[in-house]
Amino acid sequence: MIILRAEELTYQYSTGTPFEKTAIDHVNLEIEEGAFVGVIGSTGSGKSTLMQHFNGLLKPSSGHIYLNGQDIWADKNKLRDVRFRVGLVFQYPEYQLFEENVYRDIAFGPSNMGLNDAEIKLRVYEAAAFTGLTEEQLFQSPFALSGGQKRRAAIAGVMAMKPEVLILDEPTAGLDPMGREEILAEIKKYHQKTGCTVMLVSHSMEDVSRYTDKLLVMDKGKIFCYADTNEVFKCADELARIGLAVPEITRICNSLRKKGIPLDESIYTVDEAVRQIVHYYKSKSGGDV
Amino acid sequence: MLKDITIGQYFPGDNLIHRLDPRFKIVMTLLYIIMLFMGDELYSLSFGIVYCIAALVLSKIPVKLFGKSIKPLLPILIMTAILDIIFIREGTVYFQAGFFKLTEDGVFTAVKMIVRIIFLIIGSMLLTYTTSPIQLTDAIERLLSPLKRLHFPVHSFAMMMTIALRFIPTLMIETDKIIAAQKARGAGFDSSKLRDKAKALVPVLIPLFVSAFRRAEELATAMECRCYRGDIGRTKMKSMNAGICDIVSLTITFIMFFAAATVAVLF
Amino acid sequence: MSVQLIAENLCFYYTDEDGNRLSGDVLKNISLKIEKGSFVAILGHNGSGKSTLARLFNGILVPISGKVLVNGIDTSDDDNIYEVRRHVGMVFQNPDNQIVAAIVEDDVAFGPENLGISPKEIRVRVDNALRAVDMYDYRLHAPSQLSGGQKQKVAIAGIIAMRPDCIILDEPTAMLDPKGRNDVINTIHMLHREYGLTVVLITHYMDEAAEAERVIVMDNGEIIMDDTPEKVFTKPEVLQAVGLDVPQSTELLWKLNMSGIPVPINAINEEDCVDTVINLFT
């Protein structure tokens, strides 16, 4: 089933001035319900702008956005409802924390939805569990947390709205490798447990390749490609042309293949590379390893 | 959007007005403003208008820009004009309906008021459009430097203005972002009730303040690392040397100023 | 080669104004020498003490015990502090929060102005610094018109206009996109090559550290490795134990090794890795 659909979506800003720019250019796209989609593209490719259209924060200059088949701009009064159904976590979301404690901050979204206290409590604890926040941390001031914990509290604030689609714009920006790994693992867990559609915007090919099943590649306001993750990495050269580097391991495997080692065209994790090289090594040496 | 505001912006350029010594420019702008408000008759006002238009032509800044900046102020201008027209009841009556009386004096005052305010804005914008913020604060620092003897912290004051000018765009972009992020969590900025509006500001203002303080702290550290210690032993890359152009321009301004004053007194 | 920075038995924890202790030990008895003209990367996860160490090197922080010497000058002596900072420039993570002026060239002039240099000389230094980081064409722009990478290059120009002999960069690329990262890292290498600047690059990106001459790995306030990148990155088990990545080339060789294939873990870049794997089959 298709949960989100963009139809001939175009977004221009500063229209009619010399600074006019088309950020999104006639985009057609269908996102399947329950998918884990990586969104990648260089700065200015329009990926963040597109995401802000999906929850109605930006209004298309022309074209339509459909959520479960309903045009989200058909009834302006229901727009707020769309924002609860398509949760958007901005880049550096910790800059939006404002409440006196983490619990109340996470509860901000759910209480805006008009839920009762019992339901809010349930959701706050559930979201805290997804993001690995402890009970003790829930009643601390958000400003007393470490950088990584603040980021988690902010993500939990959107998860607690139980959106049908969760969009995260660069959730790991500025974190160290351990922090990155932890947050990505938590998002993966959230996706597996809830079955919700998740869209992960990232600059890092390594990150999106390891976690997502589909990849949306944007370039200059257009969709460069939208396909299964392993398919996308087959076109390493084209990606390089639009300024996107495939993971190092993909480049290594491509070089090895050119030198005669029979590896698949679409290797993008170290573990898969190891598996295939070991397999070939065994076959060559008669399986005595 | 907040980003569209052009008041206080600087447009780099290279012509007479841009090159004038900013200290002279500030003094000239002050004289010009007094000129506009001197005297009650159109005669004295016309000196200011002519002066401003001449400067405008020399600066080569597109008139459209000024129009864009004045537009947001139109409602206030129209309000003032309407009030003038309603409450000034002297002079020849053009038209009367019940309490309302359209009089010559009313219309005249309203027109003068609008012209004055528009030219006041154009004149001060011309100063900020043609003078970089740093030049402006440097000039103010130098003009105020006699106050140092009275232990007024002139340098700190100028540095504060420099930093404020530098961070206004940054904080505006940040405000836009925070508003969008809170909207995504269902914060209601659309309600028309004043109480709701005030409440909706909390989730924006707190993160904004937290961020501003964090920035301030980091900036202070970065400035210390660059050997900043107030104005002790400090020099300036851009020295200000008044040239012939500056003196001639100031003289012309003074002549206009006194001419306007004379006319204002005589008529 | 003369010594640029020396840390001797350095200990540090944070205190409030009255000297009461606010944190655990951030740095534990660190001793370290950094040679003039070298390119050193300090690698560690958040909270490992790497940023604190950087701040001790130019006297923003002073040690609780032990000594920091910059070109032989003790940083704890208040009279020397501007001399120390003139020698050791510092670039921070957030490019926005270190630019003081609303025009690029005025910002680059800020440091030299503080040093009391003559206006003519400042002009020359500003122009040269902006050309060095390839931002001369943007000298009249407002910082808000620039991308993150460009802002960071302006911040770097602001430091080199002070003509320091050492530049410390505290995670200068953490907030940048890949293009900005590349741009800034290339600029840093160019400055090291062309001007002989001592570079101390604090980072948690292992690919940036892999290009340094020497890598110092910190964990929990201590130095756990201090060697060439080749030696450091070919010990993936140590790095992963302290929450750091290794280049995927190293990871591949390491995991092949663990699967029982006798391959040396000797590569930290793509080409070497490919060669090592090919050798396995020839």
Q: Do residues B166 and B215 share a domain? A: yes
C94 pLDDT band, cuts 50/70/90, is very high
User: Does the pLDDT of residue C18 top 90, yes or no?
Assistant: no
Count the domains in chain B. Answer: 2
> Which CATH number belongs to the domain containing residue C153 in this structure?
3.40.50.300
Partner residue opposite A247 with nearest CB, options C248, C255, C256:
C248
What is the structure's pLDDT at A17?
67
Residues of B in contact with C98 (CB under 8 A): 218-219, 222
- Judge whether B145 lies within some domain: no
Angle at B182 between CA B179 and CA B184, to 5 degrees: 110
Partner residue opposite C106 with nearest CB, options B134, B169, B234:
B134
Q: Do residues B119 and B83 share a domain? A: yes
What is the structure's pLDDT at A256?
93
How remote is the C-alpha of A117 from its chain's centroid? 30
Expressed as residue numbers, the domain containing B217 is 152-236
What is the structure's pLDDT at C156?
97
Q: Do residues B89 and B114 share a domain? A: yes
pLDDT digit string (tens) for A116-173? 999 999 999 999 999 999 999 999 999 999 889 999 999 999 999 999 999 999 999 9
Q: Is A171 on the interface with B (CB under 8 A)?
A: no
A234 pLDDT band, cuts 50/70/90, is confident
- Judge whether C115 lies within some domain: yes
Chain C: give the shortest CA distance to residue B86, in Å: 45
Residues of B in contact with C142 (CB under 8 A): 10, 169
Report how far apart, in Å, the C-alpha atoms of A103 and of each of A145, A159, B201 are: 13, 13, 20
What is the structure's pLDDT at B2?
44
CATH superfamily of A2-229: P-loop containing nucleotide triphosphate hydrolases (3.40.50.300)
Q: Do residues B228 and B245 share a domain? A: no
User: Does the pLDDT of residue B74 top 60, yes or no?
Assistant: yes
User: Does the pLDDT of residue B7 top 60, yes or no?
Assistant: no
Which of C274, C268, C204 lies closest to C236, judged by CA? Answer: C268
Expressed as residue numbers, the domain containing C111 is 3-246
- Judge whether C232 lies within some domain: yes
HEC readout, chain B? CHHHCCCCCCCCCCCHHHHCCHHHHHHHHHHHHHHHHCCCCHHHHHHHHHHHHHHHHHHCCCHHHHHHHHHHHHHHHHHHHHHHHHHCCCCCEEEEECCEEEEHHHHHHHHHHHHHHHHHHHHHHHHHHHCCHHHHHHHHHHHHHHHHHHCCCHHHHHHHHHHHHHHHHHHHHHHHHHHHHHHHCCCCCCCCCHHHHHHHHHHHHHHHHHHHHHHHHHHHHHHHHCCCECECCCCCCCCCCCCHHHHHHHHHHHHHHHHHHHHHHHC
Count the domains in chain C. Answer: 1
Q: Per the structure block, which two tokens stand in for B88?
A: 């000034």
In this prediction, residues A254-267 reach a mean pLDDT of 90
Where are the domains positioned within chain A? 2-229, 247-289
Q: Do residues B85 and B124 share a domain? A: yes
Report how far apart, in Å, the C-alpha atoms of C25 and of each of A279, B122, C48 are: 49, 59, 11
A16 pLDDT band, cuts 50/70/90, is low
- Judge whether B80 lies within some domain: yes
In this prediction, residues C108-132 reach a mean pLDDT of 95
Q: Per the structure block, which two tokens stand in for B79?
A: 């309000």
Element (H, E) at A104: helix A102-112
What is the structure's pLDDT at A23?
92
Contact A257, A218 (CB under 8 A): no
User: How are strands ordered across the β-sheet holding C3-12?
Assistant: C27-35, C3-12, C65-70, C73-74
SS3 C192: helix
User: Does the pLDDT of residue C65 top 70, yes or no?
Assistant: yes
Max mean pLDDT among B56-60, B247-251, C31-35 falls in C31-35
Partner residue opposite C270 with nearest CB, options A255, A259, A284:
A255
Q: Do residues B159 and B265 share a domain? A: no
Backbone angles phi, psi at A30, to 5 degrees: -130, 125
A288: CB partners within 8 A, 6+ apart: none
- Judge whether C138 lies within some domain: yes
Q: Do residues B100 and B48 share a domain? A: yes
Residues facing residue C3 across a β-bridge: C35
Backbone angles phi, psi at C217, to 5 degrees: -105, 125
- 207-226 of B, contacting A, C-beta below 8 A: 207, 210-211
Best mutation target among C147, C252, C263 (most A Cβ atoms within 10 Å) is C252
Chain C: give the shortest CA distance to residue A178, in Å: 5
Strand ranges, E, within A60-196: 62-67, 70-71, 86-89, 165-169
- Judge whether C282 lies within some domain: no
Better-scored residue on pLDDT, A126 or B198: A126
pLDDT digit string (tens) for B226-264? 999 988 888 888 877 788 888 999 999 999 888 888 888
Q: What count of other Cβ atoms lies within 10 Å of the Cβ of residue B186?
A: 19
